[in-house]
Amino acid sequence: MNRTCDVMACAMSRLLRDGETVFFGVASHLPMVAALLAKATHAPNLTILNIPGGADVQAPLTESYSSAGGGLLQTAAATFPLAEVFDLSMRGGLDVAFLSGVQFDGTGAVNASVIGDYFTPKVRLPGGAGSAVLIPTAKRAIIWRTKHDKRTFVNEVDFVTSRGNVSAIVTPLCVFRRYRDQLIVGSVHPGSSMEEVAEHTGFPLRYLELETTPAPSAKELALLEQMDPRDLRSLEFR
């Protein structure tokens, strides 16, 4: 039986291509693990960028690792501070940005700001961090979200923190892919089903063919174990 976090990490890893630059922000453990996995398998020339400003960091994620801490600088080849990662994306040089959010609709709009009205919110959320500028400018924006329910995947978001250019959303149940201005189901994770996805999604599902997300291979699982000994990839599920 595959753990959801491993399925998601592998699915996210496979969305990355060799030679790309990839960025993720604070508390982005799954993307970090996914990127390291990609680098160890099909994308050895991936350049990993992050908040502390280390370009091209290496596994493993040991005890000292924190998503915004200095540990990420130590195995980096170059310093490339957060501000410059944004600059890179603005000038069209960032290939992939991993981002998250709290509400998503079928057009790929992302809400990370408020539930309810912006000025008198029912819930004030943490905020979109970089997503409002990265989603429109990165060549591909990939969203991961560890909850898949009708409060998360809604018919209309309460607030559009960012819109456009979301290439994929990876959830515990499936991978949404963008087709024109819509999210469609690209693949359903092993153990889930299109029915289950539909039941937990607030917008109508569309898809071209019934595809199953490949299960993690033995090699991938071994690499995950080795690179992420603290099991940070499961942190959002605990």
Give yes or no for residue 78 binding another protein (CB under 8 A).
yes
Site for another protein in 22-51 (CB under 8 A): 25-27, 29, 45, 47, 51
- Copy the structure tokens of residue 139: 């060549």
**Cα end-to-end span (Å), the chain:** 18
Could you give phi then psi for residue 171, rounded to 5 degrees? -125, 175
Binding mask 171-200 for another protein (x = CB under 8 A): ------------------------------
Q: Which is nearer to another protein, 16 or 76 (CB)?
A: 76
Instruction: List the one residue from 12, 13, 61, 80 that touches another protein (CB under 8 A).
Output: 80
Distance between CA atoms of residues 170 and 149, nearest Å: 13
Write the CB contacts of 133 (distance below 8 Å, at least 6 apart in sequence): 86, 89, 90
Instruction: List the one residue from 42, 84, 151, 198 that touches another protein (CB under 8 A).
Output: 84
Beta bridge pairs of residue 212: 188
Give yes or no for residue 156 binding another protein (CB under 8 A).
no
Give yes or no for residue 161 binding another protein (CB under 8 A).
yes
Distances (CA, A) of 205 to 42, 184, 233: 31, 6, 28
Instruction: List the one residue from 4, 10, 37, 91 that touches another protein (CB under 8 A).
Output: 91
Instruction: List the one residue from 164, 191, 202, 214 that touches another protein (CB under 8 A).
Output: 164
Give yes or no for residue 107 binding another protein (CB under 8 A).
no
Give yes or no for residue 87 binding another protein (CB under 8 A).
yes
Q: Shortest approach of another protein to residue 189 CB, angstroms? A: 22
E strands within the chain? 21-24, 47-49, 54-55, 78-79, 96-99, 103-104, 110-111, 114-116, 121-124, 140-144, 166-170, 174-179, 182-188
Give yes or no for residue 60 binding another protein (CB under 8 A).
no
Single-letter amino acid, residue 190: P
Q: Which residues in this chain contact another protein in the complex, by CB under 8 A?
A: 19, 21, 25-27, 29, 45, 47, 51-56, 58, 64, 66-70, 72-73, 75-84, 86-93, 109, 113, 118-134, 136-137, 159-164, 235-236
